[in-house]
Amino acid sequence: MRRRSPGNYQSSFTPSYLRLTEEELLRRAEEALEILRNCTLCPRHCEVDRVSGERGFCRTGDMPIISSWGPHFGEEPPLVGRGGSGTVFFTHCNLGCLYCQNYTISHLGEGQEVSFEKLASVMLSLQQMGCHNINLVTPTHQVPMILMALVIARQRGLSLPIVYNCGGYESVQTLKLLEGIIDIYMPDFKYWDSDVAKRYSLAEDYPDRAKEALKEMHRQVGDLVINAEGIAERGLLVRHLVLPGGLAGTKEVVRFIAEEISRDTYINIMDQYHPCYRAFDHPPLDRRITSSEFREAVEFARRAGLRRILY
């Protein structure tokens, strides 16, 4: 799929959360906050009381923790447009990927705790900068805090689509709370094999949970809709990082997406893997992928019948 340069961005699209009543959005946020008292936000089901200071796998309490924010021009073209994607990087993660390229944020906890009001003001500042969307990076473990901030931001004039940019390790229960709020789901599909998922991300059930999550996301928002200016407004966008030695199980991943989600799924087959964090101690993750490994991955996607492939 060729990258295109959109023109001036003007759209009459109304983000999903603006179609909800303020009362319903607040109800969802409060319901999500209540989950933190016996946390089952993600598939790990740590069942700790985050409100009282207990910490589970994600090491996060009941307030937002963010590392950085700003217009991002390195995301997929339909998110970037001319004004950039308004990214907010959330600290910590519900996965334990030992090769994480953002390990200082996900593993080392780089970031600061902020108020709901501050997070809302960050969203509004990204809108004022001319970004096309609010791109929530690694949001899974901070969904309740995000929703509380969104209540405030909406009251103050936020009107951009919301992008849920996650690792794919999601609870369908939590995703259902987000129905009618999230416009664009952008999950990874990291692995097909559970042993690989356990070894490299400490999540043996990742493949099953990711398959469930993608089906639920697609049920909510459908295939990615891109307007006449080349800007994504609603739908599912899947990322798949090709790993050395076929560890990601690309052939099976793309077949699943084509046969059980949609052949019109917009998928980014990514070649930017490079060893980070603890990857050097775990061959073959200690090397970059080869050009032939990447070409093979793209060919798998084509043969599976996927029609919207970015690479």
Question: Residue 8 class from Cβ within 10 Å (0-12 exposed, 13-18 middle, 19+ buried)?
Answer: exposed
Peptide bond into 207 cis (omega under 30): no
11 falls within a domain: no
Give the mean model confidence (pLDDT) for residues 52-61: 98
In terms of residue numbers, what domain contains 266? 16-310
Strand 184-187 relative to strand 232-241, pairing: parallel
Question: Residue 128 class from Cβ within 10 Å (0-12 exposed, 13-18 middle, 19+ buried)?
Answer: exposed
Mean pLDDT, the chain, as a whole number? 96
pLDDT at 12: 80
Q: Confirm if 211 and 219 have CB atoms less than 8 A apart.
A: no
pLDDT 10s digits, 288-310: 999 999 999 999 999 999 999 99
pLDDT at 129: 97
Separation CA 2–CA 303 (nearest Å): 19
Whether the model clears a pTM of 0.85, i.e. scores above it, the answer is yes
27 falls within a domain: yes
Separation CA 107–CA 54 (nearest Å): 18
pLDDT at 7: 37
10 falls within a domain: no
4 falls within a domain: no
DSSP label at 290? P
pLDDT category at 1 given cuts 50, 70, 90 is very low
Q: How many domains does the chain have?
A: 1
6 falls within a domain: no
Q: Torsions phi, psi of 188, nearest 5?
A: -80, 155
pLDDT 10s digits, 118-172: 999 999 999 999 999 999 999 999 999 999 999 999 999 999 999 999 999 999 9
pLDDT of residue 114 exceeding 60, the answer is: yes
Percentage, residues of the chain above pLDDT 70: 96
Residues in the chain: 311
Pinpoint the alpha helices (H) of 141-228: 143-155, 172-177, 194-201, 206-221
Residue located via tokens 């004004």: 83
Give the mean model confidence (pLDDT) for residues 262-279: 97
CA-nearest of 192, 166, 196, 190 to 178 is 166
pLDDT at 11: 63
9 falls within a domain: no
pLDDT at 280: 96
pLDDT category at 234 given cuts 50, 70, 90 is very high
Give the mean model confidence (pLDDT) for residues 68-85: 97
pLDDT of residue 175 exceeding 70, the answer is: yes
pLDDT 10s digits, 77-91: 999 999 999 999 999
pLDDT of residue 46 exceeding 60, the answer is: yes
The one-letter amino acid at 30: E
CATH number for 255: 3.20.20.70
2 falls within a domain: no
pLDDT category at 2 given cuts 50, 70, 90 is very low
7 falls within a domain: no
Give the mean model confidence (pLDDT) for residues 275-298: 97
Question: Residue 114 class from Cβ within 10 Å (0-12 exposed, 13-18 middle, 19+ buried)?
Answer: middle
Buried b (16+ CB within 10 A) or exposed e, 270-285: bbebebbbbbeeeeeb
Give the mean model confidence (pLDDT) for residues 3-7: 34
pLDDT category at 71 given cuts 50, 70, 90 is very high
